[in-house]
Structure 1
Amino acid sequence: MDHTDPMEGASDPVPAQNWGGRIEMLEGVLRAITQRIAILAVAAILLMSFSTIVDIILRTFFRTAIYGLNELLALLVAVAASTALPYGLSKGSALSVDLLSSFLPGSVKAWLTAVTPILIAVFFALVGMRTWMSAEAMQATRETTMITLTPKAPFFYIMASSCLVVALLQAVMALRLVIVAVAVTGPVARLIALIAAGIAFHSILVLFGLADGAIYQAVLPANSTTLAVVAFVLLWVAIMLGLPIGVTMGVIGIIGVANILGSRSTLEILGSEPSQFVTRDSLSVMPLFLLMGAFAGVAGIGKDLFALCNALLGHVRDGLAHASILACALFGTLTGSSIATQLTVGKIALTEMQQRNYQPSLATGTIAAGGTLGQLIPPSSALILYAILTEQSVGQLFVGAVIPGILATLFYMFTVAVWLWLRPGDAVKGAAASFQEIARAARGSWSVILLLGVVLGGIYLGFFTELEAGSVGAGGAFLVALFRGKLTPSRFWATMADSTGSLAMIYSLIFGVVVLSFFFGISGVPAAFTRFITGLGLSPFGIVLALVACYLVLGTVMDPFAMMVVTIPFFAPLVTGLGFDPVWWGIMTIMCMEAGMISPPFGLNMFVIASLDNRIPIGTVYRGCWPFFASTLFKIGLLLAFPALVTWLPSTM
């Protein structure tokens, strides 16, 4: 018989597990809603690409055009990308580098995990509120676009709302993770967390002018350059602890700007800088080329490209390795992604080389090196990011990367040839393909090669803007996948959902780096950094060599995108201030990234290759990558000695 008093415990708080369940349910509902919105937003970007293709056809054959399309397209892509942010970031797509967290106690890791959504929520709440106020100002002044006179306020209202939804969803996630962290930590850790939360809340009140911030002015350095140096050190500590890079940069930037200019100016900057930046054509290109790569993967293009290269070269002793490198180069031009290239082409090539008894170190090293070509050969997401961060022409960078990309491919093939000249037993010859087999492989690849020629040729000949080229690439890859019968409705929507993660990663980085770059700019630290480096007495060429060495070291432990967003605000102004060409330095930066991706012990590509077959020890992959790493160093030296390899082709545009 149950003797429990029905009123017993009625006034007790709801157990933590009950709260956790309710919060998790709310989080699930919000994620389901934002997922559908994000998928429709990415699909809308694809639809915009077809509107651009129609505009190109009208302009070319009928001497007319869709009035003001390019002007509206940048705004529409920015709106669509921003509405993909809530779901994309909820999937954990924010870029981070986990170097130290594995050495920390479980309770500390639990709190660091909870801090991630808190940072995202705070940053996007501030950006969203100030962007909303900017939209209100646009509405009050009836601000319009220049050509079509379309009111701009509605676009910015949507972007602001998206940022606020990001903050809401991340706040719910943070609450769930805080409950988990509280459950696994002791009273001292809880007290420390409570104090930190109080400081953070008070800081927000200070930012909005609702509390006195004198204590922060007393604690923080008065000199703006010193403040920036402290901020840079804190940024590196946060990155090594695994916190999201983009929003961490944004939060540190907010604190720095507020200390120099005051809270009112900081809020005005938050409402103008990020939202204005994401409407630029150079950033609007990114989602289009991401879609191009996504549909290329769906269409099975990587398999066809490998089949063609293998049919042409597979009969010679080193032919299968050469075919792998060429297929990686061609597929990398479509995806702009090293990881996607390795997972698609690498899996096929590795299986084929294992069946032909290739030495595992040669097979894995070849694929790891070939995967890096996706970052260099245009259209590349890394090149677009460099263009955004340095305000350079995307088209100039694409064209400037053509010759280095070809050289990189040839040097990797030469490395394979030297390897097998020294160790001929590491590979065997294959059977020569018949003419019918070559023709069959060519039929499967011609549409892809044509698409690449149209996209890159259109940019070089001035027939397309970068935005139009991205539209042609996305629309063309979609049609290739559709006509091959690979794009079922479920596959289409899955591709849209997967693309939200990439968009969220890129745009959260951009939001953060814009604020941090503004802070560094007003602090004078780039100029101080330039004075410090030039004061060392090194020649301009010696300084560039030192920066290259720095990149090579960082590349062994950092993600390439993380390395770019942290270093470019300092390195690029220094190099261009020394009189070097910014396009040349952009290609040099990507080359250094390539080297880092295949350099032990933490080169990203090596771990991707090892994941394709868990029977291959990571030490085998290390041994396979060393010759290709040396080849990359030689390529870097060649570009240092002959910058015209980069600058000549853009000069002819």
Structure 2
Amino acid sequence: MSASVAGLLGIVALFALLILRVPVAFAMFVVGFLGIWALNGLNAATSLLASEAFTLASSPELVVIPLFILMGNVASHTGMSRQLFDAAYAVIGSIRGGLASATVIGCGGFAALSGSSVASALTMGKVALAEMERFKYDDRLSTGVVAAGGTLGILIPPSTGFVIYAILTEQSIGRLFLAGVLPGILLLSLFVLAVSVLCMLRPDFGPAGPSTTFGEKLRALSGAGPIVGVIFLTIGGMYGGLFSPVEAAAVGAGAVIVIGAVTRKLKLSMLWSAAKDSVVTTATVMLILIAAHMINPFLALSHMTELVGEFFVSLELGATGSLLVILAIYIVLGCFLEGFAMLVLTLPIFFPIVLELGIDPIWFGVLVVLALEMGLISPPVGLNVFIVKSVAPGVSLGRIFTGVILFWVMMLVTLAILVAFPQISLFLPNTMIN
């Protein structure tokens, strides 16, 4: 059996296992181990399994994942995410559709704490959906805005998506975090614009909320002050060169715990629960990353990356055309695969092509993460949609998917803008990091 045939059979077997609902990490372990065994012998497969697992698990850069996850979990357990929402609502809640716009802004703020789209959708769903139901918002808008707003968690830094991309491609985590700032703000702004236009055309979708006095606005903003301070401390300190990404994660997690303890909102039971949730999430991510480092050598040995690269060259599409085809593949795969699984499965194949075409890897990372965001609300998988469904059991999946269509289109518009104007992504990393 030739190496290329073994590679094709391995990819078919991998997708077959995923269709059978085998967890993605175990599917990659099986295919990677058996593939290397077939091509290079059992000793090579067992040696790689031992060495890669230890090497990756002992990588200091990966410490940012559990620390940022812990920071987000503690903020969620202590109600700090609610304070972000209340502050946004106090300022813009009185305008038509303002509650939905406040939800988007709250999701963006919580994204800067947790780095997780699922956590953002779940937390803000618990906070905002009841309020929007109370003010008679159309359930398509209320659930759609929570599902879409939650996706900001893997674009606005700190982002676990960027961390995993950086580990898999050996790029700078700090540069990727910087590259996500302006695109994240752009997408958040387009979401707010979409809500405003929709509620202008369909006033029944998002009625105006009660007005608040200046004093009430000030109290709400001051209540969110500590958590906003943590965001500026961690992200600003990292961008200002005071902290490395790992140090920023440690400072942020420590600051949130201290604030919770000082304000007496953080009990030991809450801290224990947040820590357990963080361990489970981190273990899942680590297992996927270790599995990726098993299947990547198999793809290299089978020359699959070379075959795909030669295929793209034969199409004669040029750098821009090839980039559009790759992004289209990501958007389609997002309908069927979970985001992290897409990263670990596709980057070993596409990333060498991207480098050969001369595409900036930091810019490509932003585009890929945005494409992953689109998958989070794309049918039939749409993980964030199912998260919102768990919080709003009375709303059908069909209505939630209908509600996210407008925001999916805004993501596509943002992707087109970022493709046309790469400097939106590259301005901050190129000017702040030499």
Q: TM-score range by the shorter chain?
A: over 0.9
- Contact 1:337/1:374 (<8 A) preserved: yes
Give matches, 1:161-310, under 5 Å: 221=1, 223-310=2-89
C-alpha distance in structure 2 between counterparts of 1:355 and 1:290, whole Å: 31
Question: How far is 1:407 from its partner?
Answer: 0.3
> Once the two structures are superposed, what CA deviation does each residue of 1:38-83 show, in whole Å capped at 9, x if it has no partner?
xxxxxxxxxxxxxxxxxxxxxxxxxxxxxxxxxxxxxxxxxxxxxx
Name the counterpart of 1:635.
Answer: 414
- Contact 2:96/2:196 (<8 A) preserved: no
C-alpha distance in structure 2 between counterparts of 1:487 and 1:544, whole Å: 47
Structure 2 alignment gaps of length 5 or more: none
**Of 389, 394, 405, which residue of structure 2 is paired with 1:615?**
394
Question: How far is 1:262 from its partner?
Answer: 2.1
Q: Secondary structure at the match of 1:425?
A: coil
- Contact 2:111/2:117 (<8 A) preserved: yes
Please tell me whether residue 317 in structure 1 is matched to residue 96 in structure 2. Answer: yes
Name the counterpart of 2:157.
Answer: 378
Q: Secondary structure at the match of 1:330?
A: helix
Question: How far is 1:486 from its partner?
Answer: 2.5
Q: Secondary structure at the match of 2:204?
A: helix
In structure 2, what residue type is equivalent to 1:382? G
C-alpha distance in structure 1 between counterparts of 2:50 and 2:207, whole Å: 62
> Once the two structures are superposed, what CA deviation does each residue of 1:348-404 show, in whole Å capped at 9, x if it has no partner?
211111111111111111111111111110001111111111111111110000000
- Contact 1:299/1:480 (<8 A) preserved: no
C-alpha distance in structure 2 between counterparts of 1:232 and 1:490, whole Å: 45
Question: How far is 1:418 from its partner?
Answer: 1.6
C-alpha distance in structure 2 between counterparts of 1:244 and 1:598, whole Å: 20
Question: How far is 1:609 from its partner?
Answer: 1.6
Name the counterpart of 1:391.
Answer: 170
Name the counterpart of 2:259.
Answer: 480
- Contact 1:298/1:481 (<8 A) preserved: no
> Once the two structures are superposed, what CA deviation does each residue of 1:109-140 show, in whole Å capped at 9, x if it has no partner?
xxxxxxxxxxxxxxxxxxxxxxxxxxxxxxxx
Give matches, 1:95-114, under 5 Å: none
C-alpha distance in structure 1 between counterparts of 2:387 and 2:267, whole Å: 28
In structure 2, what residue type is equivalent to 1:507? M
- Contact 1:282/1:387 (<8 A) preserved: no
Name the counterpart of 1:450.
Answer: 229
Identity of aligned residues (%): 36
> Once the two structures are superposed, what CA deviation does each residue of 1:245-272 show, in whole Å capped at 9, x if it has no partner?
1132122212222222222333332232
Name the counterpart of 1:136.
Answer: none
Give the alignment's TM-score, normalised by structure 1.
0.64
In structure 2, what residue type is equivalent to 1:552? I
Name the counterpart of 1:550.
Answer: 329
Greater mean alpha carbon deviation, residues 405-414 or residues 271-280 = 271-280
- Contact 1:282/1:467 (<8 A) preserved: yes
Please tell me whether residue 527 in structure 1 is matched to residue 306 in structure 2. Answer: yes
C-alpha distance in structure 1 between counterparts of 2:31 and 2:378, whole Å: 31
Please tell me whether residue 585 in structure 1 is matched to residue 364 in structure 2. Answer: yes
- Contact 2:97/2:205 (<8 A) preserved: no
Structure 1 alignment gaps of length 5 or more: 1-220
- Contact 1:412/1:628 (<8 A) preserved: yes
Please tell me whether residue 499 in structure 1 is matched to residue 278 in structure 2. Answer: yes
Question: How far is 1:601 from its partner?
Answer: 3.2
Higher RCO (Cα < 8 Å, 6 or more apart): 2
Q: Secondary structure at the match of 1:634?
A: helix
C-alpha distance in structure 2 between counterparts of 1:492 and 1:421, whole Å: 43
C-alpha distance in structure 2 between counterparts of 1:614 and 1:278, whole Å: 38
**Of 224, 236, 246, which residue of structure 2 is paired with 1:467?**
246
C-alpha distance in structure 1 between counterparts of 2:17 and 2:142, whole Å: 37
Question: How far is 1:425 from its partner?
Answer: 2.7
C-alpha distance in structure 2 between counterparts of 1:522 and 1:461, whole Å: 42
**Of 339, 364, 372, which residue of structure 1 is paired with 2:118?**
339
- Contact 1:278/1:284 (<8 A) preserved: no
In structure 1, what residue type is equivalent to 2:135? R
> Once the two structures are superposed, what CA deviation does each residue of 1:574-600 show, in whole Å capped at 9, x if it has no partner?
222211111111111111111111223
C-alpha distance in structure 1 between counterparts of 2:28 and 2:118, whole Å: 25
Name the counterpart of 2:354.
Answer: 575
- Aligned Cα root-mean-square deviation (Å): 1.4
C-alpha distance in structure 1 between counterparts of 2:394 and 2:69, whole Å: 32
C-alpha distance in structure 2 between counterparts of 1:522 and 1:480, whole Å: 51
Please tell me whether residue 407 in structure 1 is matched to residue 186 in structure 2. Answer: yes
C-alpha distance in structure 1 between counterparts of 2:91 and 2:236, whole Å: 25
C-alpha distance in structure 1 between counterparts of 2:355 and 2:259, whole Å: 41
> Once the two structures are superposed, what CA deviation does each residue of 1:545-579 show, in whole Å capped at 9, x if it has no partner?
11111111111222111222211211222222211
C-alpha distance in structure 2 between counterparts of 1:342 and 1:378, whole Å: 16
- Contact 2:187/2:414 (<8 A) preserved: yes
- Contact 1:318/1:420 (<8 A) preserved: yes
C-alpha distance in structure 1 between counterparts of 2:116 and 2:47, whole Å: 36
Give matches, 1:126-137, under 5 Å: none
C-alpha distance in structure 1 between counterparts of 2:393 and 2:424, whole Å: 40
> Once the two structures are superposed, what CA deviation does each residue of 1:463-494 show, in whole Å capped at 9, x if it has no partner?
21111111111111211222232222222222
Give matches, 1:136-175, under 5 Å: none
In structure 2, what residue type is equivalent to 1:283? L
Call closer, same or farther: CA 1:416–1:488 in 2, change over 3 Å: same
Give the alignment's TM-score, normalised by structure 2.
0.96
Q: Secondary structure at the match of 2:25?
A: helix
- Contact 2:234/2:251 (<8 A) preserved: yes
Name the counterpart of 1:10.
Answer: none
**Of 598, 601, 608, which residue of structure 1 is paired with 2:380?**
601
Q: Secondary structure at the match of 1:496?
A: helix
In structure 1, what residue type is equivalent to 2:254? G
In structure 1, what residue type is equivalent to 2:409? A
C-alpha distance in structure 1 between counterparts of 2:408 and 2:251, whole Å: 35
- Contact 2:74/2:270 (<8 A) preserved: no
- Contact 1:299/1:484 (<8 A) preserved: no
Call closer, same or farther: CA 1:300–1:462 in 2, change over 3 Å: same
- Contact 1:293/1:336 (<8 A) preserved: yes
Question: How far is 1:522 from its partner?
Answer: 2.8
Q: How many residues align?
A: 432
Question: How far is 1:286 from its partner?
Answer: 1.2
Question: How far is 1:241 from its partner?
Answer: 0.7
Question: How far is 1:243 from its partner?
Answer: 1.1
Question: How far is 1:411 from its partner?
Answer: 0.6
